[in-house]
Structure 1
């Protein structure tokens, strides 16, 4: 079976979102995609066990995309075979009162995965370069010094925020966190279809909000922001991968395959060697247990 191609997913230079694919050209059927995902996620789960035993790296998986891009179901399907204690998912909503009393990155710092674990950010620190940039009035709620009106939120403000986020990622990468960022590239037409399905299916109605339609009107502004993010924050230590998201099964397989392929490059991720004294006495310990 020919696997799905992920070789052109990583952002290594300047891109235009309008030229990036939203659908994968693949001859694999839905069943074949799901079968391959099952194999890949099982291998990822095994690798996580080794990562935990090794204890020197954490893995941070960042998922960004427009509403209905499939982030929730992707998390459910890709990490299904993980030990539940080996992966922690954080979904970042509107900042709480406590979170607003700290800098905007604080809530992301305290949610970072411990060494040996995977952390998944469902929406990420990049919301601070997306929603707040499309809706600059939200910045006023951060109560920042010298920011008293939308006029104070200018190009220099956003340049500084880009610097801060790049520095944040560089710092955690230098201290053992492996960062993989995925932009789920959904077409506007497919988003419309998925919103309609939410309205048509009673068991999906709860996911719909009139605010979804208001944000949809700002699609072009969001795309400008996403393009800027991809071009200014894809770094060797924290790369962005563009995942065509119009087809959910292929998107899930692409994310799982990229994670597995990239993590396998770390040849030092191995189970620790058993202490020589313990290894020499394994037969003795076995006899103790067998003769209880």
Structure 2
């Protein structure tokens, strides 16, 4: 299948959830249970995801060999939306030597002694690599905005903590992403859109099944009290930072197989658009290859 046919096939999965202009964006316009009318069996979804993962693995090998572009995948979501499982399944066939996953936890003392983007900038993937941010610099707006006491630990001069600090931070993030894209970093941002009801079901599942108890934290339930605050914060964050160069994908997260399928399709589509090819040997390299062949044949 030629690249145009591949891209046309993928767009039917990605276009409905892609946000490149946030001017009229509203999170309420996206249904967390949407499956585009697809009524596939779980086995069928697994097969489609496997094909997407294999496809991605082939493209990632060329990306690594070319050593020019890099890809940054940003995952944001409420608890239990399935970020870990999505990353695991979508990236299952990618060579780990060319893929880096960073899970950002609470900032360290060193992190808090720098600007809010510092620890994220140091983890941007190198050329030829796919980098995955499991939570990211976007935590510095919704989470810190909802729990504003966290801002105190960042030691910002009081005069600079103004009423419009969140607007300023989102503008800083937009400029940061614009800078990265101009350096050859392809940025895809995924908000796994989980419903309030489905989150409760998944929390109860973690409580009911002993092998899932480790996933549960009492703080998860406490955070549900701020659900509407988080929705408003994500609404404004996506509206302010969606762009053609660094699009958001608001992916329905109530159906895990469908979530993974959409994420895989978006990544394959983005890498496919780069029209990557294996590097061609220069005339000097061809001479070296011929000399190496001659020496190997001479060795018997």
TM > 0.5 fold call: yes
- 1:258 is aligned to 266
1:147 is displaced (CA, Å) by 5.4
Pick from 259, 275, 278 the counterpart of residue 271 of structure 1.
Answer: 278
Equivalence for 1:20: 30
Residues 176-204 of structure 1: per-residue CA shift (max 9 Å, x gap):
11100011000011000000011011111
Decide whether the 8 Å contact of 1:136 with 1:153 is kept in 2: no
Counterpart in 2 of 1:92? Answer: 104
Distance in 2, Cα, partners of 1:253 & 1:50: 22
Contact 2:171 2:241 (8 Å CA) reproduced: no
Instruction: Note the residue ranges of structure 2 that are not aligned, 5 or more in a row.
Output: 1-8
Q: How does 1:1-292 map to 2 (within 5 A)?
A: 5-13=13-21, 14-23=24-33, 24=35, 25-146=37-158, 152-154=161-163, 156-267=164-275, 269-279=276-286, 282=289, 285-292=292-299
For the 8 Å contact 2:20–2:246, the answer to whether it is kept is no
Quote the Cα distance in structure 1 between the aligned partners of 2:66 and 2:290.
25
- How many Å apart are 1:28 and its aligned residue? 1.8
State the distance in 2 between where 1:158 and 1:133 align.
7
CA distance in 2, matches of 1:255, 1:228: 22
TM-score in terms of structure 2 length: 0.91
Q: Aligned residues, how many?
A: 286
Q: Distance in 1 between matches of 2:263 and 2:154?
A: 33
Aligned-residue offset at 1:281: 6.4
SS at match of 2:262: helix
Q: How much is the aligned-residue C-alpha RMSD, in angstroms?
A: 1.7
**Cα offset for 1:286?**
3.4
Paired residues of 2:32 and 2:193 also in contact (CA < 8 A): yes
Q: Following TM superposition, by how much is the alpha carbon of 1:103 offset from its aligned partner in structure 2, in angstroms?
A: 0.7
Partner secondary structure for residue 7 of structure 1: helix
Query: Unaligned stretches of 5+ in structure 1?
Result: none
Q: Secondary structure at the residue paired with 2:188?
A: strand
Structure 1 residue 278 displacement after superposition: 3.6
Taking the aligned partners of 1:207 and 1:92, their CA distance within structure 2 comes to 17
Distance 1:278 1:5 in 2: 42
Structure 1 residue 242: Cα displacement: 0.9
Structure 1 length-normalised TM: 0.93
- Tell me how far apart the structure 2 counterparts of residues 240 and 104 of structure 1 sit (CA, whole Å): 21
Q: Distance in 2 between matches of 1:258 and 1:168?
A: 22
Measured at CA, do residues 291 and 29 of structure 1 come closer, stay the same or move farther in structure 2, by a change above 3 Å?
A: farther
Q: Which has the higher helix share?
A: 2
CA offsets, 1:19-74, max 9 Å, x none?
20112131221111111111111111111111111111110000000000000011
